[in-house]
Amino acid sequence: MLLSAVPRRRATARRQTSRAAVLRLAISRFVSMAGTDASGVAIGFALYAQTHSATWLSLSLMLTIGAGALLAPLGGWVGDLADRRKLMIGAELAACAVFLTLAIAHTPVAMLALGVLATAIGTVFGPASGAAIAHVAGERHLTWANGVIATGSNVGKTAGRLVAGALIAALGVSSVFLVDAMTFVASALLIASVRSAFSAPRPPADVDPQDETEAEPEAEAGLRALLRHRVLRPLVATACISTFATSFTMTAEVPLMFDLHAGAIGLGALTSCWGAGMVLGSWYAARALHRDNEATGVLVGRLAMATGVALVAAAPSLLPMLGCYLLGGVGGGFMGVAAQSLIVRRTPDHLRARTLGTVDACRNLAFGLGVIGAGALVGLVGARPVYAAVGLTMAVGTLPVAALVRRLGGLRALRPALEQY
């Protein structure tokens, strides 16, 4: 009896260590994303205050999206070859230096240049972080860990947007950049405090590296590999369709609020409801999803997003629109955890960061293409018809995932597995 109790105690200790590591990384994401999103608001405010031109805002968006699309695969490649812990800490400290510089020099040109640099740093951190969490949490608790990390990120984003306006009004834009710099230092310290391994040991040359995961036989890195992969291909396809469509609703939000005479308060309430929905969706995903129902989670989440967005077109006033945005955000948060977990499960550890970087590049490219025509379409037909068209496009975009769900055995109940935390 005593001998049999030893392995159980060791297993319990490992689970507790893994759980603590995931929670620290989630707090790190909360702190870092709060500062990052606050700085995003401050950059937009400062650009428009100094130039009084929407062209500068569009240029900022296009440069950051373009940099993200071009550099994400390279960032993923670095995340697979370098020590992920050191890479993540270094990226956070580099971002700190960028935003300290912005606090001193935030002319329009400086904000554009440093914004691109911050995006480049993010393309290194993001894939490395997504790949590392799989090894920190372990395969059994991967979806729980992704849900906790996503919840921390989504709460941070929502808090950052809410706090940014107050900081700008009270202390100016420099204060936001200074606070953001401090959040990156705090995040780096939290990451450094995690003692769990951030990547699997390299397999010997004579061992197939795909034996360490559930990876498909054709699992490789790069765009061509994604397009050939029978599980990842539909996930990337639906993500690109949805991201392309989302760029139109983001453009239509401001005109819609002007049509309703809701102004900045209405716009803030609208975006906050989406953020709150993302928090709820990712929180529930951490409890309801596991390896057997993740594909169903992607499908249900995408359909909830499509429904929420489409219903905005028929909503008679701001209040029901807030409910629509909350529903769409819940779907987005839930779907994001499910999709991330599916991608990581189907990719060997030494290729995970590259795969996540390539997926990010595809989504950034789709968003950039949407931004190019979004303004013209909103101006031509108005905001409400755009919401209806986007909802329909998102619904059609779920067809590849529906086919994937069917191929993987059909719809599964969205309830916790017995072995989850």
Angle value at C-alpha 378, between 375 and 380, nearest 5 degrees: 105
Please give the mean pLDDT across all residues of the chain. 83
Percent of the chain with pLDDT over 90: 32
Q: Residue range 253-264: average pLDDT? A: 81
The per-residue pLDDT for 386 is: 92
In terms of Cβ atoms closer than 10 Å to its own Cβ (0-12, 13-18, 19+), residue 11 is exposed
- For 62, the domain range is 18-199
Q: How far is CA 285 from CA 12, 292, 340, in A?
A: 23, 13, 11
Q: Residue range 9-26: average pLDDT? A: 70
15-29, 59-73, 93-107, 356-370: range with lowest mean pLDDT: 59-73
Residues 138 and 174 in one domain: yes
Alpha helices in 172-262 (DSSP H): 173-192, 223-228, 232-259
In terms of Cβ atoms closer than 10 Å to its own Cβ (0-12, 13-18, 19+), residue 274 is buried
138-147, 283-292, 311-320, 391-400: range with lowest mean pLDDT: 138-147
Per the domain annotation, does 245 fall within a domain? yes
Residues 273 and 396 in one domain: yes
Query: Whole-model pTM above 0.75?
Result: yes
The per-residue pLDDT for 57 is: 66
- Which residues are CB-contacts of 136 (< 8 A; sequence separation ≥ 6)? 18, 21, 22, 25, 145, 194, 196, 197, 198
Alpha helices in 289-415 (DSSP H): 294-312, 318-345, 352-381, 383-396, 399-407
Residues 291 and 417 in one domain: yes
Tokens of 64: 């950051």
Residues 159 and 231 in one domain: no
Per the domain annotation, does 150 fall within a domain? yes
Residues 187 and 228 in one domain: no
Q: Which of 199, 234, 262 is the last residue of a domain?
A: 199
List pLDDT tens digits, range 65-107. 777 778 888 888 888 888 999 999 999 999 999 999 999 987 8
Per the domain annotation, does 13 fall within a domain? no
- Which residues are CB-contacts of 192 (< 8 A; sequence separation ≥ 6)? 85, 89
CA dist 171 and 362 (Å) reads 38
Task: Indicate the residue type of 330.
Answer: V
Residues 278 and 189 in one domain: no
The Cβ-side half-sphere exposure at 233, using a 13 Å CA radius, reads 12
| Residue 322 pLDDT greater than 90, yes or no | yes
CA dist 260 and 248 (Å) reads 18
Residues 275 and 195 in one domain: no
Instruction: Please provide the DSSP assignment of 132-149 as one string.
Output: HHHHHH-GGGHHHHHHHH
Per the domain annotation, does 7 fall within a domain? no
Query: pLDDT-based confidence at 299, cuts 50/70/90?
Result: very high
Per the domain annotation, does 204 fall within a domain? no
Per the domain annotation, does 175 fall within a domain? yes
Secondary-structure percent of the chain, ordered helix, strand, coil, rounded to 5: 85, 0, 15
The per-residue pLDDT for 303 is: 96
Q: Are 136 and 197 in contact (CB under 8 A)?
A: yes
Per the domain annotation, does 372 fall within a domain? yes
Residues 195 and 222 in one domain: no
Q: Are 327 and 394 in contact (CB under 8 A)?
A: no
Residues 85 and 147 in one domain: yes
What is the CA 173 to chain-centroid distance, rounded? 25
Query: pLDDT-based confidence at 222, cuts 50/70/90?
Result: low
CATH number where 294 lies: 1.20.1250.20
List pLDDT tens digits, range 111-163. 888 888 988 898 888 888 888 887 888 777 888 888 999 998 889 888 887 78
In terms of Cβ atoms closer than 10 Å to its own Cβ (0-12, 13-18, 19+), residue 417 is middle
Q: How far is CA 331 from CA 158, 279, 328, 382, in A?
A: 16, 10, 5, 25
Residues 232 and 134 in one domain: no
The per-residue pLDDT for 295 is: 94
How many domains in the chain?
A: 2
CA dist 344 and 375 (Å) reads 35
Q: Which of 166, 199, 232 is the last residue of a domain?
A: 199
Q: Are 294 and 404 in contact (CB under 8 A)?
A: no
Residue of higher predicted confidence among 180 and 207:
180
Q: Which of 171, 199, 227 is the last residue of a domain?
A: 199
Query: pLDDT-based confidence at 385, cuts 50/70/90?
Result: very high
Q: Are 420 and 335 in contact (CB under 8 A)?
A: no
The per-residue pLDDT for 16 is: 59
Top-ranked range on mean pLDDT: pick from 4-13, 366-375, 404-413: 404-413
Q: Residue range 306-315: average pLDDT? A: 95
